[in-house]
Structures are given as C-alpha cells and as structure tokens.
C-alpha cells in the first residue's frame, strides 16, 4: 500500500521535532482479515479477550487487601515483613511492564501475553500453596510480573482492530487498570469471608488459566516480531535501579525518611538509573530507546502519567479509610465489604467512559482528551474535599475521579503510540505504564505521610484526623491539575496529507491536538 513521501517526515511515521504525526499504515503488521470491515466481530472477540486478561491481571493488585491485617498471623511474621506481600507485587509490575513491552516488540506480542498469563497461573498457585512469608512474597512477585500483559495488549490493539474501533479498544483495555482494582476489593472481601483465605488465590489461578487458554486460542499470532538482541544488562540495571527507588519510596514511612536504609536505597537507585541511562544511550539495541522517549510528545506524556497516576491512587487509598473508620473518629463506620461496594461504581465508571474516551480521541485528539480526563479527575478531588459526610457523597466523588482516570488513561497510550515507530510501540507503552506506577507508588508514600502527620486518639490507637483527609484530597487535586498543565505542553500533532493512509480514511491520527 504505497504512500507518497512526506516532506520532513521520517520513515517511522514521526518527524524529528518530537511532535506526534500520523501513523503509517504500511508500517503496521496488520492482519487483513481483522481490519476488513467484514471481520469486525472477530476483532471485537480479540479485544474482549485482551480486556479480560488485563482485568484479571490488574485484579491481582487489590486481591490481598481484605486479608492484609491478618497476614502477620497467617504467615507467622511481623507486620513490617508482611507488607512485602504487597510491595513485591507493585515492584515486580513496575519492572515487568517496559521489559515485557520490549520482548513483545522483539518476539511477537501474542507470545509475550501468553507467557504473562502463564506467569499469573504460576504465581497464583505458589500463593495458594504458601504457608510462610518467603513463598508468599515470591508468588506475589510472579503475579506482579504478569502485569506486562497490559501494555503489550494495548500496543497490539492497533494491529488487530479495524481503524474505526481502535481508539475504543485501546480505551477499554486501558480502563481495565482501574476496573480490576476497583472490583477486586469487594470481590476478594466476599471470597475471604465465605471461604478460607487461600480461596482467593485458587480463584485467581482459575481465572488465569482461562485467560491463558483464551489468548492461545483466540488472539492471533501476527508476524509482528522485529527481532534484535535482548538487552540483558539494561534489564538488570533497570530492575536494580527501580527496586532501590521504589522500595525507598514505599517503605520510607516505615523505616523513616531520614534513615540510612531509606537514603541509601534512594541514592543508590537513582545512581544506578543514571548509569543505566548512559549505558542505554550507547547500546546499539537498547531495552528502552531513550532518544525516542526524549521526544517532547513522549516525554511530556510520561511526566503527565506520573501526575495522573498519583491522582488515581490517592483516592483509592484515602476514600476506603474514611469509609471504614469508626464514626466516633469522624469516619463513616462501614465494613470492609461495604466500603468495597461503595468504591466499586467508581471502577466500573472507568469502563463506562471507555467509549466516551475513544470518541473524544477520534474527534478532538488524544492530547485534549488527556487534558479533559485530568481536569475531571481534579474536579472529583475538589468534590471529595467538600463531600465527606456520607458514604454516598464519597462514592459520588469517587465516580467523578474514576471517570477522569478512565478518560485520561485511554489517551496516554494513544499519544505514545503515535509518537514512536511501530517497532518500539510495546516498549514505549510499557515505559508509560512504569511512569504511572511511579505515580501510584509516590501517592501511597505521600498519602501515608499526610495521614500520619495529623492524628486523633481513639482508645489506644492514633487515627488520621478529618483535616488530614482534606489535605489528601487537596493534594490529589493539585496533582491532577499539574497533569493538565503538562499535557497542554505536549506538541500538537500535524496532519500530513502526503503521509496519510491511502487504504482507508477511517484510521484516526493517533494523537491529534
């Protein structure tokens, strides 16, 4: 499918100024049967499988929360050590996303998703059979590695969908990041109350087996592997650097921000990442093409992802605490299951807004869609600042926040994929997922610091004060509006008629301003 050469445009479908450009369809490894309008149903089936897989993978993030207070007793360990059960998953997910994306670009995305789904099966089985801390942490880390499924699936979307539904498909799978976490809380609370705690992981293993089978049977293996050599040293450097940085951030409140351990890990992690960056710039076939990620469109989108990821996690941490605190302390006295049910509509709202986001991307472009999403997120936090006196009020604020996240999360990978070559789409989307993880991890640390800085005594326990929760909502709003400001700095896309697709006029410009 020949296209006329565009003046000043590179062969990869983006120019050298860093602004987002139209994607060259002839560079895509697209299955003609799936992009033919007569086979839209087959494409929708593939999208449904990818979304279900993303939902199950993200579900693992909140699976353990209902039994978190019981983990020290269940695993015969201390409270501090038990927290590694959650930290290990978050850390492994952050490391896995860019690495899985790169592997998908090299060896084919369907293969990598199949491996990710299999890792989820293995991790869930290890957890289900664990009776002590170490195997549980190992199993949870393996579950975290399965999060690589999501960025690889998102980057596959534009290769297996007709142009008219690509934005909708990307929006739907992006929404699974929030939906899985939101429905995971009430679902896992119900399972834990009805059966033994190990049932959580047996259910997870069963879901993972279904995902593995569906990916193997229904997701086509396209000839989308670009080959190359896997950057082992780069992967190890990234893992070590991120581990030091994220462990310091996530454990800083427990260890003390001025403790030698926290400062050592923070400084060591940053130093390793600086050395890693210098190595990647000199590597012929790097894990992450830092020159491509330095393009303004990619760089600014990733910075905005940190701010919006921060905003998403802040309400997920703060709202359940207010709902569950005793009424004598200013809380709303809800049970864990009830709190999860109040939070569930927010997660489902992300899925509801997926088609809205897709329509906005097609109509006004991904840049403005991301700005609108971040704005709605900020308005949700401002609503929560004033609506804290009843469960329904917090549920309403959570719905508004989640709508903003649902709109914004879909726009970010669209912006990223429109600014990098197709051969690097998986790694670039994975790196964007990492940036969101840094935002969510930072939110956990900041919210914990704020909530412990202003407390009231309830019996023999100190609990966060009402003003501390208000400060959390205000900080979340500020983070969201910072995301808006950064998004508006993303260079505008330029339509180039000469490089526009000639096969169909339905494929939208990936990220039009």
What does the pLDDT look like over 458-469, one tens digit per residue?
766 677 888 888
Rama region for 106: left / alpha / beta (φ>0; ψ in -120 to 50; rest) = alpha
Contact 402, 394 (CB under 8 A): no
Residue 125 is predicted with a pLDDT of: 95
357 neighbors 369 (Cβ within 8 angstroms): yes
Identify which of 15, 23, 18 has the alpha carbon closest to the alpha carbon of residue 508: 23
- Crossing angle for the helix pair 391-417 and 149-160, to the nearest 10 degrees: 60
Cα(first)–Cα(last) distance of the chain, in Å?
27
What H or E segment, with its residue span, contains residue 463? strand 461-464
Counting as low any pLDDT under 70, the low residues of the chain are: 1-39, 66, 178, 181-182, 185, 223-228, 423, 459-461, 493-513
Residue whose token pair is 């080959």 = 227
Tokens 């909140």 sit at which residue?
62
pLDDT of residue 226: 63
Q: What is the C-alpha separation between 21 and 449, in angstroms, rounded?
A: 42
pTM: 0.75
Question: Do residues 260 and 248 touch, judged by C-beta distance below 8 A?
Answer: no
Can you read off the two tokens belonging to residue 242?
A: 């991120």
pLDDT of residue 26: 36
Distance of CA 412 to the CA centre of its chain: 11
Report the topology of domain 25-230+287-499.
Answer: Growth Hormone; Chain: A; (1.20.1250)
How far, in Å, CA of 58 to CA of 501, rounded?
35
- What integer pLDDT is reported at residue 13 of this predicted model? 39
- Count of all residues that appear for the chain in the document: 513
Record the tokens describing residue 345, joined without a space: 């509509």
If phi over 0 gives left and psi between -120 and 50 gives alpha, with beta otherwise, what is residue 333? left
Q: With contact defined as beta carbons under 8 Å apart, do 394 and 322 qualify?
A: yes
The number of beta carbons lying within 10 Å of the beta carbon of residue 76 is: 12
- In this structure, what is the dihedral angle of CA atoms 430, 433, 435, 441, given to the nearest 10 degrees? -130
Q: What is the pLDDT of residue 85?
A: 86
Structure confidence at residue 508 (pLDDT) = 36
CB of 247 within 8 A of CB of 84?
A: no
Give yes or no for a contact between 248 and 210, defined as CB atoms under 8 angstroms apart: no
For residues 399, 182, 43, 361, the Cα torsion angle rounded to the nearest 10 degrees is: 30
Nearest to 293 by CA among 411, 171, 459, 432: 432
User: What totals of helices (H) and strands (E) does the chain contain, helices first?
Assistant: 20, 2
Q: Residue 314 in contact with residue 479, Cβ under 8 Å? A: yes
Give the Cα separation of 487 and 411 in Å (integer).
11
Residues 452 and 446: their CA atoms lie apart, in Å, by: 10
């Amino acid at each position: 499918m020949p296209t006329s050469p565009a003046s000043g445009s590179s062969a990869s479908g983006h120019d050298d100024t860093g602004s987002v450009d139209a994607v060259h369809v002839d560079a895509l490894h697209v299955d003609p049967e799936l992009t033919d309008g007569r086979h839209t149903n087959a494409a929708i089936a593939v999208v449904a499988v990818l979304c279900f897989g993303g939902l199950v993978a993200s579900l693992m993030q909140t699976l353990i929360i209902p039994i978190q207070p019981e983990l020290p007793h269940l695993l015969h360990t201390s409270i501090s050590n038990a927290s590694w059960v959650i930290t290990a998953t978050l850390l492994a997910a952050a490391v896995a996303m860019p690495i899985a994306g790169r592997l998908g670009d090299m060896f084919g995305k369907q293969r990598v998703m199949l491996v990710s789904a299999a890792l989820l099966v293995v991790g869930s089985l290890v957890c289900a059979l664990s009776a002590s801390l170490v195997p549980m942490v190992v199993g949870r880390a393996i579950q975290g590695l399965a999060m690589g499924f999501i960025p690889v699936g998102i980057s596959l979307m534009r290769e297996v969908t007709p142009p008219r539904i690509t934005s909708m498909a990307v929006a739907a799978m992006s929404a699974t990041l929030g939906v899985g976490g939101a429905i995971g809380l009430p679902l896992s609370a119900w399972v834990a109350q009805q059966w033994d705690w190990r049932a959580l992981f047996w259910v997870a293993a069963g879901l993972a087996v279904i995902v593995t089978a569906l990916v193997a049977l229904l997701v086509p293996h396209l000839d989308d592997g670009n080959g190359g050599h896997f950057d082992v040293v780069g992967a190890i450097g990234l893992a070590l650097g991120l581990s030091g940085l994220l462990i310091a951030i996530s454990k800083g409140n427990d260890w003390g921000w001025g403790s030698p351990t926290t400062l050592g890990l923070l400084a060591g992690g940053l130093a390793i990442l600086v050395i890693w960056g210098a190595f990647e710039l000199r590597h012929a076939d790097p894990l992450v093409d830092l020159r491509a990620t330095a393009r303004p469109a990619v760089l600014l989108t990733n910075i905005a992802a940190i701010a919006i990821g921060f905003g998403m996690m802040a309400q997920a941490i703060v709202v359940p605490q207010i709902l569950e605190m005793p009424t004598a302390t200013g809380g709303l006295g809800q049970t864990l299951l009830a709190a999860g049910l109040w939070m569930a509509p927010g997660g489902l709202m992300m899925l509801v807004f997926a088609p809205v986001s897709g329509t906005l991307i097609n109509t006004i472009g991904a840049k403005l869609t991301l700005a609108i999403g971040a704005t709605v997120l900020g308005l949700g936090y401002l609503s929560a600042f004033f609506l804290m006196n009843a469960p329904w009020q917090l549920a309403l604020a959570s719905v508004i926040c989640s709508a903003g996240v649902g709109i914004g999360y879909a726009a970010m990978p669209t912006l990223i994929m429109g600014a990098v070559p197709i051969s690097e789409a998986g790694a670039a989307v994975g790196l964007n997922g990492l940036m969101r993880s840094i935002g969510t991890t930072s939110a956990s640390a900041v919210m914990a610091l704020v909530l412990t800085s202003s407390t009231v005594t309830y019996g023999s326990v100190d609990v966060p004060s009402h003003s501390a929760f208000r400060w959390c909502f205000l900080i979340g709003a500020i983070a969201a509006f910072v995301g808006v400001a950064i998004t508006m700095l993303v260079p505008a896309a330029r339509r180039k008629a000469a490089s526009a697709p000639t096969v169909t006029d339905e494929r939208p410009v990936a990220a039009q301003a």
